Structure 1
Amino acid sequence: MSHTSSPTAFSTSRNSVLLWCEPSFEIKLKPTFCFIENNIVRCPNPEYAEKMIAAIDAVRTKGNSVGGVVTCIVRNAPRGLGTPVFDKLEAELAKACMSLPATKGFEFGSGFSGTFLTGLEHNDEFYADENGRIRTKTNRSGGIQGGISNGEIINMRVAFKPTSTIGRKQNTVTRDKKETEMIARGRHDPCVVPRAVPMVEAMVALVLVDQLMAQYAQCHLFPINPELQEPLRTASPVEFEQPQNAAAL
């Protein structure tokens, strides 16, 4: 089973440096591996990459640390991945990404900013494109509606806290409950976000593979209504091999 869907993660925020936010919540930029890996902070915008590096260096020289945000987008995701109740696609993605160390926040599409909109403003209206495919004019839902992918770009952001081990004096308590001070020694990252970029990509890819396998098993091996198999038929990049014993099933 193969598919052209692939997650692309990159840095979009570091301390007070925030990469642009599209008003339609669509990621118009198509970041490639070369763009992202062209700098040490893994930001696809060279100008903002320099600002992020400067922000990290500023706190590093003071023995401090900063956090940031990793954005991950998935293009060409087939429709129909996920379930509407217990195993929602956004829930599976959130669980996978939040299992990574130092994660403190997660949001899809409009995320928390969507709470400032009305239902009419936030709803993604449907339309039929020139190829007869059902699309949405906006993507505030982040490519997932009702727990199921709708074929639009899946767009998510993962927040990572500042590194807790820093070279500054901090208060703590010993095992015998006595207050004291401590200073961490050794080499520690002033920011873990650049390291987290490929980790977010990997976790998202694993979830999507699981969902594709589940869709294959449910819709292809055990078809109930041929009309319900539309996500598999229209997703041309998907190639399935019919098992030899499928007829027996």
Structure 2
Amino acid sequence: MSIAYRPSHADATYDMKYGVRAVQGGGRSSARETIGRVASGAIAKKILKHFSGTEVLAYVSQVHQVVLPDGSVYHDTVTLDQIESNIVRCPHPEYAEKMIAAIDAVRTRGDSIGGVVTCIVRNAPRGLGSPVFDKLEAELAKAVMSLPATKGFEFGSGFAGTFLTGSEHNDEFFTDEHGTIRTRTNHSGGIQGGISNGEIINMRVAFKPTATISKKQHTVTREKKEIELLARGRHDPCVVPRGISLDNGFPLLCCHLCKF
């Protein structure tokens, strides 16, 4: 790896732009870079909980082809203890075992797999965010997509919403027993027009398979010589469970709360 570019890694593009390669550990492209974000996120979660009662949770909802069925996790009641009850951080015990098995299987083959992290925000104040360029979902997307290995992001119904009609997708309003305006469904994911509406904010982040694997791959050196690369060392077969701790959206929510 000291002379060759790792396929799908930041090695090549960093070198092309800056003329620098961080061979040891990946440099800025390494998940180690997120240590400051993890720390600030932990503080931000406490601030959100203290000042507005807002609770942020994230869990693994997919590892490769093991996908949690819709409705198998209740966003109103799921707890941190349920999420942290296993090493894959999936609150559904049966599917957690399947995810662990999938990761173990690919690890023994020297390969890697990706997956999806679902993040929910309960009791978010109404009115966070602004129209057009400061939409709440746009700013959250930028924050989350700055994390290593992220390749996709969606809110509410996301891409699946394209299969629905307007009458199926629209979240109809009603007044609950406390006189609060609510929506009967939450296809919008708690955000409408870039502004939070008081419902649970839900989003999903796709993480790609880890780029550095132990299988032989074809690549080139800085001198443009084609060679075969066989990476050695400790490399995660799946980074998805780690993504739970990396949510860069917590401090951003705090900033919006301050503006609010």
Are the counterparts in 1 of residues 176 and 182 from structure 2 also a CA contact under 8 Å? Answer: yes
Give the Cα–Cα distance (whole angstroms) in 2 for the partners of residues 29 and 154 of structure 1: 11
SS at match of 2:152: strand
Letter in 1 for 2:205: V
Which position in structure 2 is the counterpart of 1:209? 254
Give the Cα–Cα distance (whole angstroms) in 1 for the partners of residues 174 and 180 of structure 2: 8
Structure 2 residue runs without a partner (length 5+): 1-49
Which position in structure 1 is the counterpart of 2:116? 69
SS at match of 2:51: coil
1:11-66 CA distance string (max 9 Å, x none): 0000110012139xx94462212111111111111111100000000100000000
Give the Cα–Cα distance (whole angstroms) in 2 for the partners of residues 55 and 89 of structure 1: 35
Larger Rg: 1
Which position in structure 2 is the counterpart of 1:17? 66
Letter in 1 for 2:255: D
Q: Which has the higher helix share?
A: 2
Distance 1:7 1:102, change over 3 A: same
Give the Cα–Cα distance (whole angstroms) in 1 for the partners of residues 76 and 92 of structure 2: 10
Which position in structure 2 is the counterpart of 1:192? 239
Which position in structure 2 is the counterpart of 1:154? 201
Matches within 5 A, 1:16-35: 16-22=65-71, 27-28=74-75, 30-35=77-82
Residue 204 of structure 1: CA displacement? 2.3
Are the counterparts in 1 of residues 113 and 238 from structure 2 also a CA contact under 8 Å? Answer: yes
Percent of aligned pairs with the same amino acid: 68
Letter in 1 for 2:254: V
Structure 1 residue runs without a partner (length 5+): 216-249
Which position in structure 2 is the counterpart of 1:171? 218
Matches within 5 A, 1:1-249: 2-22=51-71, 27-28=74-75, 30-200=77-247, 203-215=248-260
Give the Cα–Cα distance (whole angstroms) in 2 for the partners of residues 83 and 91 of structure 1: 10
Give the Cα–Cα distance (whole angstroms) in 2 for the partners of residues 141 and 12 of structure 1: 19
SS at match of 1:2: helix
Are the counterparts in 1 of residues 75 and 120 from structure 2 also a CA contact under 8 Å? Answer: no
Q: After the TM superposition, which segments of 4 or more aligned residues of structure 1 sit over 6 Å from their partners?
A: none
Are the counterparts in 2 of residues 6 and 205 from structure 1 also a CA contact under 8 Å? Answer: no
Give the Cα–Cα distance (whole angstroms) in 1 for the partners of residues 169 and 99 of structure 2: 31
TM-score by length of 1: 0.82
Residue 166 of structure 1: CA displacement? 0.3
